Amino acid sequence: MSPPLLDVADLHVTFATPKGPVEAVRGVSFALGRERLGIVGESGSGKSQTGRAILGVVDPRATVRAQRLAFDGIDLRGADPRTLRRLRGARMSMILQDPKYSLNPVMPVGRQIAEAYRVHRRAGKREARVRTLEMLEAVHIRDPERVWRAYAHELSGGMGQRVMIAMMMIAEPDLIIADEPTSALDVTVSLQVLAVLDEMVTRRGTGLVFISHDLNLVASFCDRVLIMYAGRVVETLAAAALHRAEHPYTRGLLNCLPRVDRRLDPLPTLTRDPAWAR
């Protein structure tokens, strides 16, 4: 059996605050192969901080420690800045939530994508431009030449998200962490973005960590699911079996979903048990 692409054991992310340390992630463990792993939970459950800790892009006030944190056999805990720079972008990428805040507002998006390719593949300007236009076509942008010249504010939400996917995928990484990539999009555009991501992950055999609030989306898109609450993983199960989850927190989340086949009045709310956070 081949070793996992990503191996995380007992991961902790702690923030120093005026009122004392706050643990945003508490003892998270999982292994990822060439598959799609979903991480779901409420806001503040530690999903995004888990992804950021893997890439080493947490807030300077945060402390990251783990019993094991390895990517393709490389120990990320003691990796020097040069090693991390070599891995980030080229072999590990993160798609952030909202392109409005992630793209450079004063640089055409084509140049931004080309810059990522040149940095990680040491290519010339002409090769980077050709590869960027190919990548924009790959994410189903109809007029790559026009989008090359466009600025972030000139793009719709769906187009901006596809540009972000193109930028993160152009170096053909082995691991993608997608942090709520469809949260700001309508249903139709979300499906288009997911289709692009699925096509590229399947074709490349890339490992994907898909962070989301949407349980139904994760159940249909991912292979496995981690349920997080208060910085901990409370349940792990196959995505297809998500609706048969046993933990009361997961059951509570599922019960709060609106239904089209029957009326829920009043809509159920989640009752939390302090024991879940222990």
pLDDT of 77-95, one tens digit each? 988 988 998 999 899 999 8
Given a cut of 90, whether residue 147 has pLDDT beyond it is yes
Whether the CA torsion 257, 262, 263, 268 is positive or negative: it is negative
DSSP per residue, 140-182: T-S-HHHHHH--GGGS-HHHHHHHHHHHHHTT--SEEEEESTT
Residue 1's pLDDT band (cuts 50, 70, 90): low
Kindly state the percentage of the chain with pLDDT values over 70.
Answer: 99
Residue 31's pLDDT band (cuts 50, 70, 90): very high
- The whole-number pLDDT of residue 184 equals 66
pLDDT tens digit string along 54-74?
A: 999 999 889 999 999 999 999
Q: Where are the domains of the chain?
A: 1-85+176-183+207-278
pLDDT tens digit string along 193-234?
A: 788 888 878 888 889 999 998 898 899 999 999 999 999 999
Instruction: Please state whether the peptide bond connecting residue 266 to the residue before it is cis, i.e. omega within 30 degrees of 0.
Output: yes
- The whole-number pLDDT of residue 126 equals 94
Q: CA Rg, the chain, in Å?
A: 19
- Compute the distance between CA of residue 206 and CA of residue 176 in angstroms, rounded to an integer: 7
- The whole-number pLDDT of residue 208 equals 94
pLDDT tens digit string along 40-57?
A: 999 899 999 999 999 999
Residue (of 167, 197, 170) closest to 182 by Cα position: 197
pLDDT tens digit string along 4-24?
A: 999 999 999 999 999 999 999
Residue (of 228, 248, 253) closest to 46 by Cα position: 228
Given a cut of 90, whether residue 118 has pLDDT beyond it is yes
Q: If you average pLDDT over every residue of the chain, what do you get?
A: 89
Q: What CATH architecture does domain 1-85+176-183+207-278 belong to?
A: 3-Layer(aba) Sandwich (3.40)
Given a cut of 80, whether residue 168 has pLDDT beyond it is yes
Total-model pTM: 0.90
